[in-house]
Amino acid sequence: MLSAQLEWIAARPDLSSVRAAVCDLNGILRGKRMPVSQARKALEGGLRMALSLSAMDVWGNDIEGNPIVYQTGDADGLTAWTGRPILPVSWTPQPTALVPLWFSNPDGSPYLVDPRRALSAVVERYAAHGLTPVVATELEFYLVDPATERPVGPKSPVTGRRLDSDAAMDLDELDAFDGFFTDVYAACQAQGIPADTAISENGVGQFEINLLHTADVLKAADDALFFKRAVKGIARKHGLAACFMAKPYGRGAGNGLHVHFSLLDRDGRNLFDDGTDSGTEMMRHAVGGMLSGMAESTLVFAPHFNSYRRLRPNSYAPTALAWGYETRMVAVRIPGGAPQARRIEHRVAGADANPYLVLAAILGAALAGIEGQIDPGAPRKSDADGEDLPRLPADWRAAIGAFEQGNLVSDIFAQDMRAAFLACKRQELERFAAEVSPFEFKTYLEVA
């Protein structure tokens, strides 16, 4: 595979530089711009970068007291090429490409704070059982005007008028931004991202693109990460900004990262299919595990201050730990359709979440449910938020506490990763808590 990548580079004399990057706990790519002549070094594992890059806060600051920094002198780790073919980048002023990397310890062992390594460890547990997860993702995002400080709908390239209303499943709105979508699909094809159907969603300038299912879980997470980067870059090229925030508009629809999941045995049979609409006992046990681990994993699904504006009762991002057939008003949905395609849809994560950690949390909990034969309880037929059911943590601070105390997440994620993630989120929380918003000041200026 290495020779194929070097041949790919040699066949592109217009490339003058490449980017080599790892993914941090917030789902942000961090790395280096390198002359194209140095691409081989990155591909062969000769590139060293500080291990602390995997665990910085969302602003790119070191975590205060992080042992990765202060006890080791901010030591370098090894990077290794993930094996994903080099990704061509077409939206920069000059053509470039991305070499995707992940971290190893100095002795060459996997560095489990790296979120891609964390997911790989969960996939290895499935493989030990002779099981192969099949995963697909759906990502929602907004197109907004980049010239404003607060989110505002973009102007239609066709009419010149600013979007100001919801347009769910509106073909005219899709067609108005056809140039943008054409470039997105071209970039996805060039990068091996299986982009499928696009729709206009329920918010002003909101869209969703589905990524096709794959039996390579690491590739599915890669696809989601690189899709977000491509959409943001192409939006800039078109004079727009693409926003994957969980809730950019306080009263508008949120952006979700929905995950579809089925399970194959060694012979390629779907272990969730029993020939009926109900699905197998194994499927229900997987649901039971996902529900049992959901509260303590909420920090993974909703990792930011803004994330908790999306998780609201009586919405498509419900807060009750419930499951059901067909209904989109529960946290875990079993879609209808042909039995051979029987699968689980997890609807809690926001589009702002790290796809590696999301898939690790979902699949890790599902495997715990299968191993422990956890009963998910009765399915719900409609919105379960009004029922007396366990709930997700109501806010960021509560989610941090639930993650810290969780027994299941301690089985899914390595201790160093959990400690780094908790320290990161606490540092971000404290910074947000110290900020006074204009609305807060205006409200209390003369009445408090």
Read off the pLDDT of residues 263-284 as tens digits, 9 standing for 90 and up.
999 999 999 999 999 999 999 9
The 10 Å CB-count burial string (b at 16+, else e) for 330-353 is bbbbbeeeebeebbbbbbbbbbbb
Specify burial of residue 26 (Cβ count, 10 A radius: 0-12, 13-18, 19+).
buried
Distance CA 332, CA 196 (A): 22
Answer whether residue 72 shows pLDDT above 70.
Answer: no
Distance CA 58, CA 425 (A): 9
Answer whether residue 159 shows pLDDT above 90.
Answer: no
Long-range contacts of 331-338 (CB under 8 A, 24+ apart): 331/291, 331/294, 331/392, 332/287, 332/290, 332/291, 332/376, 334/279, 334/283, 334/287, 334/379, 335/260, 336/277
Domain 123-413 in this protein, CATH class? alpha beta
Q: How many CB atoms lie within 10 A of CB 37?
A: 11
The stretch 231-255 carries a mean pLDDT of 94
Domains of the chain, residue spans: 2-113, 123-413
Which is nearest to 359 in space by CA: 211, 192, 248? 211
Answer whether residue 169 shows pLDDT above 80.
Answer: no
Answer whether residue 384 shows pLDDT above 70.
Answer: no
Q: What is the pLDDT of residue 218?
A: 98
Distance CA 377, CA 369 (A): 12
Q: What is the pLDDT of residue 148?
A: 83
What pTM value is reported for the model? 0.95
Answer whether residue 315 shows pLDDT above 80.
Answer: no
Read off the pLDDT of residues 339-374 as tens digits, 9 standing for 90 and up.
999 999 999 999 999 999 999 999 999 999 999 999
Distance CA 270, CA 274 (A): 9
Q: What is the pLDDT of residue 70?
A: 64
Q: What is the pLDDT of residue 386?
A: 60
Answer whether residue 389 shows pLDDT above 90.
Answer: no
Read off the pLDDT of residues 39-53 as tens digits, 9 standing for 90 and up.
999 999 989 998 999
Looking at domain 2-113, does it have CATH number 3.10.20.70?
A: yes
Is the Cβ–Cβ distance between 240 and 145 less than 8 Å?
yes
Pairing relationship of beta strands 48-50 and 29-35 according to DSSP bridges: unpaired
Read off the pLDDT of residues 199-229 as tens digits, 9 standing for 90 and up.
988 788 899 999 999 999 999 999 999 999 9
Q: Which residue has the tokens 């995963």?
A: 135
Distance CA 374, CA 269 (A): 22
